[in-house]
């Protein structure tokens, strides 16, 4: 497992043979000024999965009260995207 702050580190981890990569989101990571946006998440996961690498989103930061709504929306969006991918895989398998 390897960390990835952004695209260069993600690609380096893949090329180095990592079996899994963990990374944060721009607004909800313990590291300043790194991470991916929610909009980039599908591309990140597709890039990893094409190479057989698992991806883990870290949500390791303090969330302040004024950020709670945004954090909840981000988590809900990630969950929704994950459910949509699982549904698409199931439909593809059952139709083939």
What is residue 12's predicted lDDT score, i.e. its pLDDT? Answer: 97
Pinpoint the alpha helices (H) of 1-96. 7-15, 41-50, 68-95
Neighbouring C-beta atoms of residue 73, cutoff 10 Å: 11
52-70 confidence digits (pLDDT tens): 999 998 886 788 899 899 8
Q: Say if residue 26's pLDDT is above 70.
A: yes
According to the model, what pLDDT value does residue 85 have?
55
Query: What does the pLDDT average to over 16-36?
Result: 85
CATH number at residue 66: 3.20.20
- Reduce the DSSP state of residue 55 to 3 states and report it: strand
Whole-angstrom Cα distance, residue 16 to residue 34?
21
Domain total in the chain: 1
pLDDT band at 96 (very low <50, low <70, confident <90, very high): very low
Structural domain boundaries enclosing 80: 2-95
Q: Which DSSP letter does residue 63 get?
A: -
Asked whether the predicted pLDDT for residue 95 surpasses 50, the reply is no
């Amino acid at each position: 497992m390897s960390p990835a702050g952004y695209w260069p580190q993600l690609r380096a981890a893949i090329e180095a043979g990592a079996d899994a990569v963990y990374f944060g989101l721009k607004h909800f990571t313990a590291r300043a000024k790194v991470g991916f946006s929610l909009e980039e998440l599908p591309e990140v996961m597709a890039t990893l999965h094409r190479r057989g690498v698992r991806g883990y989103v870290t949500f390791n930061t303090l969330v302040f009260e004024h950020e709670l709504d945004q954090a909840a929306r981000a988590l809900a969006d990630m969950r929704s995207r994950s459910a949509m991918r699982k549904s698409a895989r199931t439909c593809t398998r059952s139709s083939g």
